[in-house]
Every structure is written in C-alpha cells, then in structure tokens.
C-alpha cells in the first residue's frame, strides 16, 4: 500500500487571500498534500464562466499555492489539466464561501462552479459555504469540512461526484442533513440612480429574502433547523416530467421524430 499522501485541490471564488480559503486549507492539510489554485481577486457570482477569448496568467504565491487572473472554473481547469496533470488530485474542495449557496444560488455561485468544473473533469468535488452576511466565524464549518473530507477520502468515490455544503452561521451546528435543493428569492428590485455626471446606473439583486418551506430542502435544514446541509448535485438538467407534454406539440412544417433509442 502506497504511503504517498493523497493530493487535494482547493479553490474558491473569493480570491486566494480570503479568510474562508485559509480556514479550508488549514482544515484539510492534515489529510493530504494540499494544492491551492484560486482567483487573484473576488469572483463572487461568476457562475461557470470560463475564459476562451483571452490568455490567462498564473502567479505562484508560495509552494503549491497559485493565483489565476481568471474565473473559478478557469482555476479548476488550469489546476487539473496543467499544473497537476501528471498527478491529478483525488479530491477537490471549494470555499469556504463568504455567504450562502443554497437553492437557486447554485446557478450563480462561483464556489459551486469551481467544484463543478473539477467534477466535470473527473475529480470528485465538494463546495463549502458559510451562511452568514456580516460576522464570519469559519471554525465550525472548517471542523465539518475536515470530517467530511476525511470520510470522502476513506472510500472509493465516483469521479463526477459533486456535493454542495452549507453551514449555518452564528451557531454551533449539532449535526448535518443530506438534503435536496430548495427554492428561495432575494426579491427582484432594481435600484436606479444617477452618477455625478447625470448618467443613470442600476443595482440589481434584492435584499428581501424569503424561502419556500420544502421538506428535506437545504434552506429548511440551515434556516429552520440550524443544521449543516449536504446536497448531492448532478449535471443532468433534462426536465423529464416535461417530455411527454412537449412531445405532443405540433410545429407546422416540421415532422417530429422519435429520439434514438426510444
């Protein structure tokens, strides 16, 4: 049996200097050989953007710690396909994000996107987020991250495994729940204003938060029960329930054919 330490890749969307990233690195460092490849600046809400039309630059901050002038997905791509291509990581972790990535947040999150890119490239991945807005105490989340990563490393993992973890802020969580993705809203207000030269500008993204009461959801676990939510995600976006209805649509001038294998 090899004594070689297991290689763990760490990234985020808050930047290579962020407190949450430092906490995650410290948490998982006893578990393997940690490499950090993270954005050189904050990339919150960057989603899964990837840079195809400009060159990217990598700066070595210190040994096994790199800053990239790109998106979180860029960081995962460069780490796995370039920096670590000769000895790929066995696991990727992203975070700890400064804020929630619950429900529809997943669609916008750079933290989740970094982990998702890793999973797409065949490296099992876990995204960690702290559900707080002002006071960020990463210690409880870091302790859970160490335990969850240790558990993950102790077993065979499917290469495209992707977990989304949210830790409630301001409390010491007494446990975790395996959840489904919930639904929530921050409101849809658009604030219009004028700059000193009389030109209009706009702020989007509201602050009127509310979530639906969905049994077994990540929102319920975190906000109602004050427990850590662990949500397994996948890449299949097909709305299977919509297929029969859509198959009955008539489109004038075009024949509808059955898909291969149907």
* Binding residue positions for a divalent metal cation: 13-14, 44, 97
CA–centroid distance for 76 within its chain: 11
Task: Give the helix/strand (H/E) hosting 211.
Answer: strand 210-211
Contact 71, 46 (CB under 8 A): yes
**Which one-letter DSSP state was computed for residue 23?**
H
Binding-site members are 13-14, 44, 97
Query: Quick one: 215 exposed, middle or buried, by C-beta within 10 A (0-12, 13-18, 19+)?
Result: exposed
At 65 the three-state DSSP class reads strand
In the β-sheet with 125-131, what is the strand arrangement from edge to edge? 58-62, 65-68, 33-39, 7-11, 91-98, 125-131, 162-168, 228-233, 176-178
């Amino acid at each position: 049996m090899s004594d070689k330490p297991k290689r763990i890749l760490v990234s985020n969307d808050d930047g290579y200097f962020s407190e949450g990233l430092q906490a995650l690195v410290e948490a998982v460092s006893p578990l393997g050989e940690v490499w950090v490849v993270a954005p050189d600046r904050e990339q919150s809400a960057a989603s899964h953007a990837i840079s195809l039309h400009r060159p990217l630059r990598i700066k070595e901050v210190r040994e096994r710690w790199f800053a990239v002038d790109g998106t979180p997905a860029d960081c995962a791509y460069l780490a796995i396909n370039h920096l670590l291509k000769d000895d790929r990581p066995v696991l990727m972790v992203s975070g700890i994000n400064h804020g929630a990535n619950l429900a529809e947040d997943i669609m916008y999150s750079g933290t989740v996107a970094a982990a998702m890119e890793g999973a797409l490239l065949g490296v099992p991945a876990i995204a960690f987020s702290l559900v707080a807005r002002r006071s960020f105490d990463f210690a409880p989340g870091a302790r859970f991250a160490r335990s969850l990563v240790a558990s993950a490393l102790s077993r065979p993992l499917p290469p495209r495994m992707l977990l989304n973890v949210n830790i409630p802020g301001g409390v010491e969580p007494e446990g975790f729940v395996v959840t489904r993705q919930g639904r929530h809203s921050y409101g849809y207000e658009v604030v219009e204003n004028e700059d000193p030269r009389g030109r209009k500008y706009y702020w989007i993204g509201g602050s009127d938060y509310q979530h639906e009461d969905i049994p077994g959801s990540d929102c319920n676990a975190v906000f109602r029960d004050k427990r850590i939510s662990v949500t397994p995600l996948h890449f299949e976006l097909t709305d299977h329930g919509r297929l029969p209805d859509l198959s009955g649509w008539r489109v004038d001038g075009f024949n509808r054919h059955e898909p291969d294998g149907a």
